[in-house]
Structures are given as structure tokens and as C-alpha cells.
């Protein structure tokens, strides 16, 4: 029943490791996003895909690589993890009807801790 | 820098009181949205108000938008302990590439 689901919910890993976070939405939305929320609760967009096509790519280190195998899935792979990557990562999806935004649906987040 | 900035950063009220928080933004918008985030959870969409609308209601929530002042407010009436959460405004602006840009949030504590 979950509209936007992310796995894993928690991820603790050592510096230098490579890890992936997966996201799936069953809402039929065309657009999916990755947001990063830091310890001060600021949310910053990282990437956006529309129908498997990358449309937003903010200033994010090359170590972060998104992949959208189909419009219902958006994964995030992170290479060579650093302490500063520790944050909560949120996946979201949205749909514009006739060009009108209707609000985003967020997943419950993946808390990444790099030690 | 943040497109939307909330004020106050934190708010503590008694159950039954009203809670008001404000959001200011910098560029012209298509719409402004309010979200709630409970501790350790994802964001939940509350209300979307379009640039040509001035006021919107949803249950105990009332949102106003003043595009001349580039500001919005969220009012929660008759607050309940379950309203304790962080509330974020987010703007959808053409200048920002139609991506949703969030403010820093207002942390609301409703004491029983």
C-alpha cells in the first residue's frame, strides 16, 4: 500500500564504502526526486528524473549517481562514502496534470550514518 | 540560499491554542506548498496554494498567500498534541526550474 517506499530505512557504513539506496513509487507519477536533509533539517534537492530522463542535477559530488530503470524506480548509488554524507535521504514523486503541480509524495527516508 | 524561510524557527503552545507560522520567499512562484514532518518520518503534503489564490482551507489548516509581499502563513486552529511536528513551506518557481525548494522549517511543540 505504501505509495513511495525506500530501502533501507537505516544504513550505517564505514568511510570509503560504496552503498545504494532504492526507491519505488506505485502512484503512476512521472517524476521522481532525491532530497538530502541535513542535521539542521534543511532539505536540498539532489536529482530529479522525469520518465527515466534526468532533468535536475544539482551541484552534487560525482560520487553520487542516480539511476532510473523505469519511471517507478529511482535508485541512488554513492561511491567512496565520506563522513559529510551522513544525512537523511528522501525519495519523492510528483505528477503535473496539465502543467499544474499537485504536491509531492515523500518516502519515509533513509538515515545514512558514515563512521 | 533558501528560497523559502520560515518564521519562527520554533513555536511552543498549549493544546487548544492556535499556531501561526510564516514563510517568506524571494522569486515569483507558480505555487507554494506546506508540508508536515513528524520526528523520524517523511514529509506529508498539507496544502498547495497557487499564485493566483489568496487563501485556502483544509480542516483546521488555513493558508494565506500574499504575492506582493512574497509571503505565506499557515494557521493551525485548535491545536492538538498530535500536531507536534516540523512544518515546511516549499515554493515551486519557474526560475528554479520547477523544482520544489524548501525552507528551514518551523518546529511546533503542542503541550497537552
Residue spans of beta strands (DSSP E) within chain B:
5-7, 10-14, 19-24, 31-37, 43-50, 55-58, 61-66, 71-76, 85-92, 100-102, 106-111
Cβ pair B92:A101 closer than 8 A: yes
pLDDT in tens, A37-64: 999 899 999 999 988 888 888 878 999 9
User: pLDDT (tens digit, 9 = 90+) per residue, B53-99?
Assistant: 999 999 999 999 999 999 999 999 999 999 999 999 999 887 776 68
| Among candidates A43, A56, A92 on the partner chain, residue whose Cβ is nearest the Cβ of B88 | A43
**In chain A, what percentage of residues exceed pLDDT 70?**
96
Partner-chain contact B101 A103, CB within 8 Å: no
Distance CA A83, CA A14 (A): 9
pLDDT surpasses 90 at B5: no
CA B87 to CA B51: how far, in whole Å?
A: 20
User: What is chain B's mean pLDDT, rounded?
Assistant: 92
Pairwise CA distance, residues A101 & B2, whole Å: 20
Residue B6 binned pLDDT confidence (cut-offs 50, 70, 90): confident
β-strands B10-14, B106-111 pairing? parallel
Give chain B positions within 8 Å (CB) of A41.
37, 86, 104-105, 107
Answer for the pair A94, A106: CB distance below 8 angstroms, yes or no.
Answer: no
Q: Does residue B21 have a cis bond before it (omega within 30 degrees)?
A: no
pLDDT bracket for residue A67 (50, 70, 90): very high
**β-pairing, A96-97 with A100-101?**
antiparallel
Q: Which of A103, A106, A110 to mutate to test the interface with B (most CBs of B within 10 A)?
A: A103
Contact list in B for residue A90 (CB cut-off 8 A) is 42-43
When CB atoms are compared, the residue of B33, B40, B41 closest to A103 is B33
The residue of chain A with its CA nearest to that of B41 is A108
Q: Which of B42, B97, B102 sits opposite A108 (nearest CB)?
A: B42
Residue A1's pLDDT is 64
Minimum-distance CB partner of A56 among B30, B40, B97: B97
| A99–chain B Cβ distance below 8 A for any pair | no
**Touching check for A95 and chain B: CB below 8 Å?**
no
- Given CB atoms, is A42 within the 8 Å cutoff of chain B? yes
Amino acid at each position: 500500500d505504501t505509495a513511495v517506499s525506500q530501502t533501507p530505512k537505516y544504513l550505517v557504513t564505514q568511510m570509503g564504502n560504496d552503498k545504494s539506496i532504492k526507491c519505488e513509487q506505485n502512484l503512476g507519477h512521472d517524476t521522481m526526486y532525491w532530497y538530502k536533509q541535513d542535521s539542521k533539517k534543511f532539505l536540498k534537492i539532489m536529482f530529479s528524473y522525469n520518465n527515466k530522463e534526468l532533468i535536475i542535477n544539482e551541484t552534487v559530488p560525482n560520487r553520487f549517481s542516480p539511476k532510473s530503470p523505469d519511471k517507478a524506480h529511482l535508485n541512488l548509488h554513492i561511491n567512496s562514502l565520506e563522513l559529510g554524507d551522513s544525512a537523511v535521504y528522501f525519495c519523492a514523486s510528483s505528477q503535473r496534470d496539465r502543467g499544474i503541480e499537485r504536491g509531492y509524495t515523500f518516502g519515509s527516508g533513509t538515515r545514512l550514518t558514515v563512521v | 540560499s533558501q528560497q523559502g524561510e520560515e518564521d519562527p524557527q520554533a513555536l511552543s503552545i498549549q493544546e487548544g491554542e492556535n499556531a501561526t507560522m510564516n514563510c517568506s520567499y524571494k522569486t515569483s512562484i507558480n505555487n507554494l506548498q506546506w508540508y508536515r514532518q513528524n520526528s523520524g518520518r517523511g514529509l506529508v503534503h498539507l496544502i498547495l496554494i497557487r499564485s493566483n489564490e489568496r487563501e485556502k482551507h483544509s480542516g483546521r489548516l488555513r493558508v494565506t498567500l500574499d504575492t506582493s509581499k512574497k509571503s505565506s502563513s499557515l494557521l493551525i486552529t485548535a491545536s492538538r498534541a498530535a500536531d507536534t511536528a516540523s512544518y515546511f513551506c516549499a515554493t515551486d518557481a519557474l526560475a528554479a526550474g520547477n523544482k520544489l525548494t524548501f525552507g528551514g522549517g518551523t518546529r511546533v511543540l503542542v503541550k497537552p
